[in-house]
Structure 1
Amino acid sequence: MADDHGTDALGCYGNPVIQTPNLDKLAAEGVRFTNAFCTTASCSPSRSVLLTGLHNHANGMYGLEHTYHHFNSFENVAGLPELLAKKGYRTARVGKFHVAPEKVFQFQTVLSAGQANDPNALGRSPVEMAAACKAFISQPGKPFFLYFASDDPHRSNGVLPNGHPTFNSYPAPNLFGNRRQGYPGIKEIVYAPDKVIVPPFLPDNAETRAELAQYYQAVSRLDQGVGQLIQILKDAGQYENSLIIYLSDNGVAFPGAKTTLYDPGMKLPLIVRRPGKDQKSFVQPALVSWVDITPTILDYAGASSGTKLQGKSFRAVLENEKAAGQTEIYASHSLHEITMYYPMRVIRTPKYKLIYNLAHELTFPFALDLVESSAWQSVQKSKSNIYGQRAIQQFLHRPKFELYDLEKDPGEINNLAQSKSHQEVFNQLLTKMKQFQKETSDPWYHKWTYE
């Protein structure tokens, strides 16, 4: 698992500049999904969904777990490591953790403490992370589940004299974990800002390009760690036996992606290699959600959840490129930091996306690492009214409903919620969204009654 890695920075997803040879090779040997989505573009809630098969509003991890935010999943939830352990699997984690309580996400072996966004943590050194897993992987006997969670390519954080965290480096770029002395076993790949590809949702200026160059460097470092981990699997004779899944918790840490449910925040890389020697490689356009990850892993392990999960196994579309996929996926964001209340619910089909902004009267709140980014600060200081393709006021002040035709408007700029010619589509999607909220015991479903 990567931290804040979008599809914008992977060779196998079409970026000709960034160097990600190990992930590109994994994609060439497996299945690359082009319509894979997190359910919430925020770290702890997203990870809780991945490890439970339940949306954050159902498992209780409404926002960030660490320090004073203190969001925890409900203690009666059964996490993936516990379910696999009951099936006889050895379980271990290394790198970033950022979920709680331990009782729900209990791994038998903890290879590193995994403090959230700790610049000195092992999670920034992916080759060392892989080395820490070698003994666990090589142990004979029982099958294993390894949760390999990098801190890359999350933004670098520091601490102010008063003890508060900071990501501010303006006018210099944030370093995204890159450091002058490098990391053991890593060949640092440095990118020229004028060569990076600026996604349409970002402003194309010097500050953004400088930050993207640092982001690319962090992604290439992570890629080398993935390569080392795969080599350890091969050396242990476990590569052909293993289900290998690469994904990210949410999109890149720039305004317009992370913490939003626009596609740059929720449409993410998903690369899967199935067990076996001669696997057919293909690109899979079927819709897949992070709530489906736990059910899929349990399916391959022959394990049971014991309770009804909100996701479903996508094993069929993983093994057959022509299998029928889901017709829609759902997303549910509640908060990021404790002060950043902005619940959103989303239904997305291949063609349309409907966003329900439950607290639309509020100004959209910024995560600290986004508001302090040089990319955002540069636009603020320039007094521009536009950020990327979107008017800043449109970004900060959102209507109750947003409906987008993703085929005609991939940037999600032209809101069709009030369009007379789209009312049938709007009503169909809204009915399904309400049903989703009801079926998943969404606490915010109550708003439909009291409002």
Structure 2
Amino acid sequence: MLAGITGITGALTLGTPARAARKGPERPVNILFAIADDWGYPDAGANGSPAARTPTFDRLADEGALFTRAFCAAPSCTPSRNAILTGQAPHRLGAGANLWSELPATYDVYPDLLQQAGYRVGRMRKGYGPGVFPQWPHDPAGPGFPSFGEFLDQQPEQTPFCFWLGSSDPHRPYDPELGEQSGIDPAAVDVPPYLPDTPEVRADIVNYLAEVQRFDREVGDALRLLDERGLAGNTIVVMTGDHGWPWPRAKANTYDAGTRVPLAIRWPGRATPGTVIDRLTLLSDLAPTFLHAAGRPVPAAMTGQSLLPALSGTAAPREFVVVERERHARAREGNLAYPVRALRTDRWLYIRNFFPERWPAGDPDFDQGLQGVFGDIDAGPTKTQLLENRHRPQFARTFELATGKRPKEELYDLASDPHSLKNLADDPRQAAVKTRLRKQLQNWMLRTDDPRVTAPRTDFWDKVEYFG
């Protein structure tokens, strides 16, 4: 059933070479894609973060476009990266919707499509995954290189390139010494209301931001290489993270803290410097964007939308995006998933939890050793403090927000509740809104061949092998 997906209604088939719309450059455009691991919105200076120091990201935003409403397709590494590579919603990727899974080689990925079109493709460090890829000759994100510089050293002058610069920053665990050396003032960090505001949590956030800064410096080094080799003027640079930050009620959750990401795109001559794009955007839009920019056809199976119209100011409004999750970590007895679909508009967040009887953050008494109990929450000082103090009044509310069971439906008015703390699903005053969003989600699931539209409690993803 999952392997037989062939297309989607309304998929883009844009294939006109970008250079045909203007006089130069004559050569196909190069692509540098820089992706952090667990870097969430708004943790960048250009996004208004009071403590994050990200001069490289800010530079890309100044010299290109800043996307203020960008979201991952899934708040979990493997399915998010699979969606980026394939341009498809995770539920269309079989086992690839789970963390630590396998992406079958039957799915097209944009690096392969560009390589077939004459591009030289490469990758450094974290690309696809985590997971296994026995059907592929190399990581689906591209063959590995020690660094971007060594990749460029071997680059033929007349050949376009597509390079995936993958970092493990700012994924846990953190080095407190790096945080101490960062110069970030703990008093300046923003502690969201779904976390306890304690010195320990502030120090944990400082350590996270120190790794964000390290990633930013590394991308800055890559930009200098482009400048030094005269490649910057004909290279699209995209900088983002694979999903939200690794905190309770964030990563592995479909609230904005788990799904909203920084995104900046620089394309000299195409993206007007200083452009701010508020249009709803998904990271699965990047694959069709890269293909469109290279003048290649976009496969009909891709659910993402090329961002070139958004960059040129000609994009039609996008009423909503959908994010989703299946199984994240090994966090429940029987290795069960916690499947969710969530529809995000400019103002509203509607969430459908398919197994409300299960624990959303993992079972409270199931400990596989790596992340501990509530295994969908990454281990770290914040989680430890939350668990050890769960019965104290200062922590009880935030502990319940992170770990408590959730109803079948959730509805949040993000205009007044940006952190999704007050569920309005049972508020009769919002019944019409809930009905409308529920119908939109249902229709989208139908259009994209989501197995849960006809079998909402399917156990397919419960049974997929976990390779972690």
For Structure 1 versus Structure 2, the TM-score category normalised by the shorter chain is 0.7 to 0.9
Give the equivalent residue in structure 1 for 2:423.
Answer: 415
Q: Is 1:360 paired with 2:360?
A: no
Q: Is 1:303 paired with 2:296?
A: yes
Distance 1:87 1:221, change over 3 A: same
Contact 1:34 1:283 in 2 (8 A): yes
Q: Is 1:335 paired with 2:352?
A: no
Contact 1:11 1:20 in 2 (8 A): yes
How far, CA to CA, are the matches of 2:395 and 2:69 in structure 1?
A: 25
Give the equivalent residue in structure 1 for 2:91.
Answer: 57
Give the equivalent residue in structure 2 for 1:147.
Answer: 164
Give the equivalent residue in structure 2 for 1:227.
Answer: 220
Distance 1:264 1:179, change over 3 A: closer
The amino acid that maps onto 1:377 is T
**CA displacement 1:290-327 (0-9 Å, x = unmatched):** 2211111111111124442111112111122x743311
Residue in structure 1 matching 2:149, options 115, 120, 131? 131
Give the equivalent residue in structure 2 for 1:162.
Answer: none
Using the TM superposition, name which of 196-205 and 222-231 deviates more. 196-205
Match of 2:37, SS state, is coil
How far, CA to CA, are the matches of 2:46 and 2:176 in structure 1?
A: 22
Match of 1:33, SS state, is strand
What root-mean-square deviation, in Å, do the aligned CA atoms of Structure 1 and Structure 2 show?
Answer: 2.6
Q: Is 1:86 paired with 2:78?
A: no
Deviation at 1:334, TM superposition (A): 0.6
The aligned length equals 404
Give the gaps of 5 or more residues in structure 2.
Answer: 1-34, 363-370, 459-468
Contact 2:249 2:402 in 1 (8 A): no
**CA displacement 1:258-281 (0-9 Å, x = unmatched):** 000100111110100124388332
How far, CA to CA, are the matches of 2:263 and 2:394 in structure 1?
A: 31
The amino acid that maps onto 2:90 is N
Q: Is 1:74 paired with 2:104?
A: yes
Give the equivalent residue in structure 1 for 2:309.
Answer: 316
Distance 1:290 1:102, change over 3 A: farther
How far, CA to CA, are the matches of 1:412 and 1:346 in structure 2?
A: 12
Structure 2 matches for 1:339-350, cutoff 5 A?
A: 339=335, 341-350=337-346
How far, CA to CA, are the matches of 2:405 and 2:65 in structure 1?
A: 39
Structure 2 matches for 1:241-252, cutoff 5 A?
A: 241-252=234-245
Residue in structure 1 matching 2:388, options 381, 390, 404? 381
Give the equivalent residue in structure 1 for 2:408.
Answer: 400
Contact 1:203 1:388 in 2 (8 A): no
How far, CA to CA, are the matches of 1:103 and 1:286 in structure 2?
A: 37
Give the equivalent residue in structure 2 for 1:165.
Answer: none
Contact 2:179 2:210 in 1 (8 A): no
The amino acid that maps onto 1:343 is P
Contact 1:389 1:411 in 2 (8 A): no
Give the equivalent residue in structure 1 for 2:15.
Answer: none
Match of 1:7, SS state, is coil
Deviation at 1:17, TM superposition (A): 2.3
The amino acid that maps onto 2:86 is T
Give the equivalent residue in structure 2 for 1:27.
Answer: 61
How far, CA to CA, are the matches of 2:103 and 2:160 in structure 1?
A: 27
Deviation at 1:394, TM superposition (A): 7.2
The amino acid that maps onto 1:335 is R
Give the equivalent residue in structure 2 for 1:236.
Answer: 229
Deviation at 1:26, TM superposition (A): 1.2
Give the equivalent residue in structure 2 for 1:118.
Answer: none
Identity %: 30
How far, CA to CA, are the matches of 1:394 and 1:191 in structure 2?
A: 26
The amino acid that maps onto 1:331 is V
TM-score where L is the length of structure 1: 0.83
How far, CA to CA, are the matches of 2:51 and 2:207 in structure 1?
A: 13
Runs of at least 4 residues off by over 6 Å = none
Using the TM superposition, name which of 90-99 and 360-369 deviates more. 360-369
Give the equivalent residue in structure 2 for 1:40.
Answer: 74
